[in-house]
DNA sequence: TTGTAACGACAGAGCGTTCGGTCTGTAAAA
DNA sequence: TTTTACAGACCGAACGCTCTGTCGTTACAA
């Protein structure tokens, strides 16, 4: 986390203000686009003046950086949560549970996901890496989850890498293609269908598709 | 196709210049972001002056519109091609072939796909619809292809809607997540893997997975 | 009184767009 | 063939505007 300028020495206050900035800015940017909101407009939405805003950030693009970092942290937290909660479960249950939580998280933070998509090109390469890395970590999490199931023979021998990637793609799709999907699915329904698709692909050979019924 | 201002009466020349503008602008925008290229910079890359550029467009945002329209037309062309070439084939072959072609098309025009992804939030709703419609048509194409296979009993009874959507999502992923995928896959490899995933999911019950071997 | 959060007018830069003008190619007139 | 006239593609300086980021000031809490 690179440093972002502030004139305040009160760390708690800075964090609070920045949290607020992240939230409001993300909403605004998702609604109108980064370049279509001015610092004035943002300050206004925050209930501050431009000067006040610049008391806590060094530049407009710092806002992007703050948001990017926030999303990366989210990813980290999600993964940590998975690791803790699922430590001792069976691969199949781990997968089911983590898929459910992951899709929920993406839904909840879908503004951020869309934001990241939209903003990517305005970021310097260095900052893009932060996003790339966070995404890679998620994919790798699912990949190794799948692989551990394959090793124990509980899953079929599928290409874990592509499947993991497809999982993340499906989740992202919920965020950035909601305009289409929400005509036909609720989040729950969508999650169920996707989980079924995935379990279908990994269910061990021989057994027809024993894991395909979702318990909900 | 709404009208875009030009000062020229020579339709052929206008088309030629605009084609050039579309190509170069898309490249630039995908690299740096719409708001980070100026008309001056674009004109320069085109080998023109700003005045020359404005001879063929009415405003900077007209460029977005031109590109959006171009991609929508591409989609239409792809679908027409499918319709013609695959008319009499079996559903399974139709699917395999159309997947291959579709992934190839997405790869070839990946700048445009990325562009759409990036620019979506900045577009007026009216123009977004153009994109939505084109995407919906692609999804519907695969959906009905799957359904016709299900009706004849050649495919398993899967949720064609979600599978069709996943196909399009997987193709898009190739375009806008190439930074990750290209570490591990070539286009051919990626296509093969995805085709295998899909055939796997629809292969009729009883038979193990007879269509899983890809002929290439 | 001192420190600092907050204000908001303002400077400076950069942008999209315009517009008076040039220059090249074509075609009619001589 | 040479001259003249003209259309229109193209140029680039300049305009008007918006935006970011600064800074002198105020309000207030300790």
Chain B residues close to A136, C-beta within 8 Å: 180
Number of H helices, E strands in chain A: 10, 0
Number of H helices, E strands in chain B: 10, 0
Residue A3 CB partners (closer than 8 Å, separation 6+): none
CA–CA–CA angle B164, A213, A113 (5° rounding): 50
What does the block give as tokens for B167? 């196909």
Chain A to chain B Cβ contacts (< 8 Å): 102
**pLDDT tens-place string over residues A23-74:** 999 999 888 889 899 999 999 999 999 999 999 999 999 999 999 999 899 8
Question: Using the CB atom, is residue B13 less than 7 Å from strand D?
Answer: yes
Question: Using the CB atom, is residue B52 less than 7 Å from strand D?
Answer: yes
Quote the pLDDT of residue B11: 92
* Averaged confidence pLDDT in chain A: 88
Distance B56 CA to C15 C1' (A): 19
User: Nearest C-alpha of chain A: how many angstroms from B144?
Assistant: 16
Dihedral sign (CA A81, A85, A91, A95): negative
Residue B145 CB partners (closer than 8 Å, separation 6+): B91, B94, B95, B98, B164
Chain B residues close to A158, C-beta within 8 Å: 197
pLDDT < 50: residue spans in chain B: 206-216
Query: Measured between alpha carbons, how far apart are the two ends of chain B, in Å?
Result: 40
Closest CA to A191 of A106, A120, A100, A121: A100
Closest CA to B134 of B172, B163, B97, B104: B172
Distance B17 CA to C23 C1' (A): 20
Task: Determine which of A3-17, A181-195, B63-77, B192-206 has the lowest per-residue pLDDT on average.
Answer: B192-206
Distance A100 CA to D28 C1' (A): 50
Tell me how crowded residue B205 is: count the other CB atoms within 10 A of its CB. Answer: 8
Query: Measured between alpha carbons, how far apart are the two ends of chain A, in Å?
Result: 40
A215 pLDDT tier (thresholds 50, 70, 90):
very low
Would you mind telling me the total number of residues written for chain A in this entry? 216
Rounded distance between C-alpha atoms, residue A45 and residue A126, angstroms: 29
Quote the pLDDT of residue B205: 59
Q: Tell me the CA distances in angstroms from A113 to A18, B6, B56, one per residue in order.
A: 19, 38, 36
Mean pLDDT of A160-169: 96
Is the pLDDT score of A83 beyond 90? no
Closest CA to B21 of B116, B2, B36, B50: B50
What does the block give as tokens for B183? 């570490």
Quote the pLDDT of residue A159: 93
* Averaged confidence pLDDT in chain B: 90
Closest CA to B95 of B159, B160, B174: B160
Dihedral sign (CA A35, A36, A37, A39): positive
Q: Which residue has the higher pLDDT, A104 or A74?
A: A104
Are the C-beta atoms of B57 and B6 separated by less than 8 Å?
A: yes
Rounded distance between C-alpha atoms, residue B74 and residue B113, angstroms: 11
What does the block give as tokens for A30? 């998702």
Is the pLDDT score of A113 beyond 60? yes
A145 pLDDT tier (thresholds 50, 70, 90):
very high
Are the C-beta atoms of A98 and A129 separated by less than 8 Å?
A: no
Rounded distance between C-alpha atoms, residue A57 and residue A6, angstroms: 6
Instruction: Give the residue on A whose Cα is nearest the Cα of B159.
Output: A193
Question: Which of the residues A111, A139, A177 would you substitute to probe the B interface, choosing the one with the greatest number of B C-beta atoms within 10 Å?
Answer: A177
Rounded distance between C-alpha atoms, residue A154 and residue B9, angstroms: 69
Long-range contacts of A70-77 (CB under 8 A, 24+ apart): A70/A22, A70/A112, A71/A109, A71/A112, A71/A113, A71/A115, A71/A116, A71/A131, A71/A134, A72/A130, A72/A131, A72/A133, A72/A134, A74/A105, A74/A109, A74/A112, A75/A134, A75/A135, A75/A137, A75/A138, A76/A134, A76/A137
A104 pLDDT tier (thresholds 50, 70, 90):
very high
Tell me how crowded residue A48 is: count the other CB atoms within 10 A of its CB. Answer: 17
Classified as helix, coil or strand, B155 is strand
């Amino acid at each position: 986390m690179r440093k972002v300028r502030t004139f305040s020495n009160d760390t708690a206050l800075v964090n609070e203000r920045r949290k607020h900035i992240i939230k409001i800015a993300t909403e605004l940017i998702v609604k109108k686009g980064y370049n279509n909101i001015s610092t004035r407009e943002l300050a206004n939405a925050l209930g501050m003046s431009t000067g006040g805003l610049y008391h806590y950030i060094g530049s407009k693009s710092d806002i992007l950086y703050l948001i990017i970092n926030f999303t990366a942290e989210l990813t980290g937290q999600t993964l940590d949560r998975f690791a803790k909660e699922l430590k001792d479960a069976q691969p199949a249950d781990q997968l089911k549970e983590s898929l459910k939580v992951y899709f929920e998280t993406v839904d909840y933070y879908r503004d951020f996901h869309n934001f990241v998509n939209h903003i990517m090109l305005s970021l310097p390469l260095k900052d893009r890496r932060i996003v790339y890395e966070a995404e890679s970590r998620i994919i790798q999490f699912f990949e190794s989850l799948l692989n551990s199931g394959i090793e124990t023979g509980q899953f079929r021998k599928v290409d874990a890498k592509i499947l993991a990637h497809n999982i993340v793609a499906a989740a992202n799709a919920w965020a950035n293609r909601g305009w289409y999907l929400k005509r036909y699915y609720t989040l729950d329904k969508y999650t169920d269908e996707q989980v079924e698709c995935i379990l279908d692909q990994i269910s061990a050979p021989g057994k027809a598709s024993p894991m395909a019924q979702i318990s909900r």
